[in-house]
Chain A
Amino acid sequence: MNHLPIRGRISVLMHMLSSVLRRLRGWILTGGAFIVLAGCAKNAPQDTWKPKGANATKIDNLQKPVFAVAGVIGVIVFVAVIYCVIKFRDRGQPIPRQTHGNPALEITLTIIPALILTVVGVFTVRTVFDLAKTSDTEMIINVTGQQWWWEYDYPVQEQYGITEPIVTSGQLVIPVGTKILLRETSRDVIHSYWIPALNGKRDAVPGRIQTNRIEADQPGIYAGQCTEFCGLSHANMRMEAVALSKEDFAKWVANQQSKYVAPADGTLAKEGEAVFLNQCVRCHQVNGLTRADGSPAIATADENVWTGVAPNLTHLMSRNTFAGAMFDLSTPECRKDVWESDSATFGSKYLAGVTEACLNQTALRDWLRNAPAVKPMYTNPALLSPTDGKYRGMPYLGLSESDIEKLVAYLLTRQ
């Protein structure tokens, strides 16, 4: 083919391409249909077209018209290109006369897109400024990302009953109808916080505080996903925002600030507390937990984990996910009951926490038995030299079945 002129070679290639496409037409159509139909999920908690809060609604009000305009233009261009490709395809005819310099046409084709972009730009910039507004914030929450979970800490805000900082993870709990300012940062790499139903995404950057405003209209659970590739388990770095009525939020705050109650002596949970003190407190904090000599048990995650922290488990059973919101702490039935409850009953069901009857024992035990086997993490001791021997994620602890039994009993008391 090399001895052919350029045009001849292109013609041969086009012929080969059309031949391949003809043969694969059936497969291409079937594949295309599957791809299109894949967008028709009924249960899609991260649907960007269903806003549930003020900021998400502002984005929705912008994206729908822009999508319509872009869609119409896209269809026109696509149809025109396909028409030209078929109508004027190479059939051996001479190259048509080439025209240059049609000022009227060129100016028209420049002005129309410029006008469209200007209109879209004006509304986009206005929305961007609206979304960036923080002056009327009613509550702030610090959000810190790390591989591969989110930590939330609530600074003291006495108007909401928060008299000492609250630290939780996985599920962000907020009062409805309240303008919340998330102050996002990261402990390791860049992550991105995104609850589609409540607002757009915002990167969490190490060393910087990035603000992101959310507000939920109705009580409920709103799902999200880290949207900046952040390493091995990026796909498993999820999050949920739980919106409660103001009364229910006050109850949640009161529960989070309640004093530590040790399990009764002689119970399995008490034995689990001992296992926790021996094993888990190396990284996980349970506020109020004390050692045998009465000194507070302080997590030393900074000595074991690259990011220096592990999720605070003081009220683990008050949230219904764990391991970066990847696994359900509740059984599917109980979780469905909470997720699908109406606004009036949602709060009470969520605040009931995870009871023994509702605990997803299988998932929790699998996690305690061998965490890296169920969620990929950098925990292979032979490969930790880049992090000075520190883990990125929860390692395999080699717990016995008896210890797992005791730990589950203890964790169930962390309501």
Chain B
Amino acid sequence: MFTTGSKYFLGLSVLAGVAFAVSMFFANPSALGATALIGLVGALALLAGVVLYARDGDVGSGEVTASSNRPAPTSMWPLISAGGVALLLIGTITQPAFFLLGIVVLVAAFVEWMVLCWSESASSDDQFNAGIRKRLLNPIEFPVLGAVGLGLLIFSFSRVMLAVDSRVGVALFIIIGALLIVGGALFAMRPTLKQGLVTAICTLAAIAIVGAGVSAAQNGMRSELVAARYESDHEVQRECGANATEHGDSGVTQTISSVSGVSATVEFIDGKLLAHVQGMTGFQNAITIPRSSPSNIIFRNFDSGRFRLVAHLGTKQVTEGVVEEVVACTQLIRSGAEQLLTLSIPKSSVANGPYFLSIAGIDDQSVDLVVP
């Protein structure tokens, strides 16, 4: 009564049902997990029903016998599955990333191997069998392999860009971009070029990029990036005085890429500090920003000289009896330049305020910062 296919899906359905029961009664019950597993049970039961109704696609019994009598051809998937298991084991004692990679490899190998076995027993015609395997899996394999390959190239290239000096990086970006365009144009102009030659050039280029990426990853990021990585809340830690600091004011960003989606714009013009909030007419003497939410403020310096915007965010107790002011600031920026100050303030300004914005070295100008 039950066909081979329906037995398979019924078995999986029962297995999913057992997983549901184990999850609910013995593991950690959660609405999300229960919904997923019950959905899986339903989907597999539906597939079992469909397969049963269609009698496994009505494969002729003679075909099955003919194909099943042949010896199984060689396959690389057992080897890859073993590699996946090895990654799983390594992942359990080293890093979760290996464990996840092992799961991905095992799932991919399982699917590929299953479809391969199914296609090999579909008929006695090997060419036909290979064809149906390709028709089923190529639409998945090509995009996935393409994405993985592209991701590997991008990741390798990013390692190179992070390792080399920033000025060298710009030059490298231009050169590689130009090479890609020129190469693409040449290939397009010479359609008679041998496919093997094009493949060889592309493969060599890919190997070069991946190789450079591996080498760059071994050398690590350039020194300033390493320093930035271990520096949290750099805007709060930065020295916020009127004078330039050795590290905080080097490599100053003078322009910003985004001018929309900000909480307010603060301008320093002719010795006056002026704030503008979208939707409010004229200049404001107070800016309201939400608590515990990153808020961006654009600072524009239209005065002569280099200035920085400083946010005074109350005080905090460092140790018993020692209280220090909490400040955040931009870098010193030249006249006509702009920079973004991002603030995320966990406490209402009622708690230990008042908060305000000022210009370092200018005492008589400020804009209130209200955190309700």
Contact = CB atoms under 8 A, between A and B. Distances in A.
Interface of A: 1-3, 12, 16, 20, 134, 137, 140, 142, 144, 151, 153, 155-157, 165-167, 181, 183, 185-187, 205-211, 232, 285, 287, 296, 298-302, 307-309, 376, 382-383
Contacts of B76: none
B347 A140 contact: no
A19 to B, nearest CB: 10
Top 8 closest pairs, chain A to chain B, by CB = A308-B292, A208-B261, A302-B346, A155-B288, A165-B372, A181-B279, A140-B279, A137-B279
A167 B370 CA distance: 12
B92 interface: no
A376 to B, nearest CB: 7
A144 B60 contact: no
Interface in B267-315: 277-280, 286, 288-296
Contacts, number: 104
Contacts of B141: none
Most chain A beta-carbon neighbours within 10 Å: one of B262, B263, B280, B293: B293
Given A165-B372, A181-B278, A298-B351, A207 B294 contact: yes
Given A232-B32, A309-B292, A183 B59 contact: no
Given A3-B60, A137-B279, A155-B277, 4 more contacts: A151-B290, A153-B290, A209-B278, A307-B292
Contacts of B32: 232
B372 A167 contact: yes
B290 A142 contact: yes
B350 interface: yes
A209 B263 contact: yes
B348 interface: yes
A376 B35 CA distance: 14
Dominant secondary structure of chain B at its interface with chain A: loop
Contacts of A153: 288, 290, 372
B63 A206 contact: no
Interface of B: 28, 31-32, 53-54, 57-60, 63, 122-123, 128, 132, 261-263, 277-280, 286, 288-296, 342, 346-348, 350-351, 370, 372
A2 B123 contact: yes
B348 to A, nearest CB: 7
A144 B293 contact: yes
B292 A187 contact: yes
B356 to A, nearest CB: 14
B294 A206 contact: yes
A167 B293 CA distance: 15
A181 B347 CA distance: 25
A209 B262 contact: yes
A155 B370 contact: yes
B6 to A, nearest CB: 16
Contacts of A183: 263, 278-279
B293 A185 contact: yes
Contacts of A210: 261
B288 A142 contact: yes
A2 B292 contact: no
Contacts of B292: 187, 301-302, 307-309
Contacts of B279: 134, 137, 140, 181, 183, 211
A25 to B, nearest CB: 17
Nearest to B292: A308
A181 B128 CA distance: 65
19 contacts: A3-B60, A20-B53, A137-B280, A144-B290, A153-B372, A155-B286, A165-B370, A167-B372, A187-B293, A206-B293, A206-B294, A209-B261, A287-B350, A298-B348, A299-B348, A301-B292, A308-B346, A309-B291, A382-B28
A134 B281 CA distance: 11
Nearest to A144: B290
B280 A140 contact: yes
A302 B128 CA distance: 64
A155 B288 CA distance: 6
Contacts of A142: 288-290
B357 to A, nearest CB: 15
Contact of B293 (A157, A186, A301): A186
A20 B49 CA distance: 12
B31 A165 contact: no
B278 A134 contact: yes
Contacts of A165: 288, 370, 372
Given A167-B372, A376-B31, A156 B123 contact: no
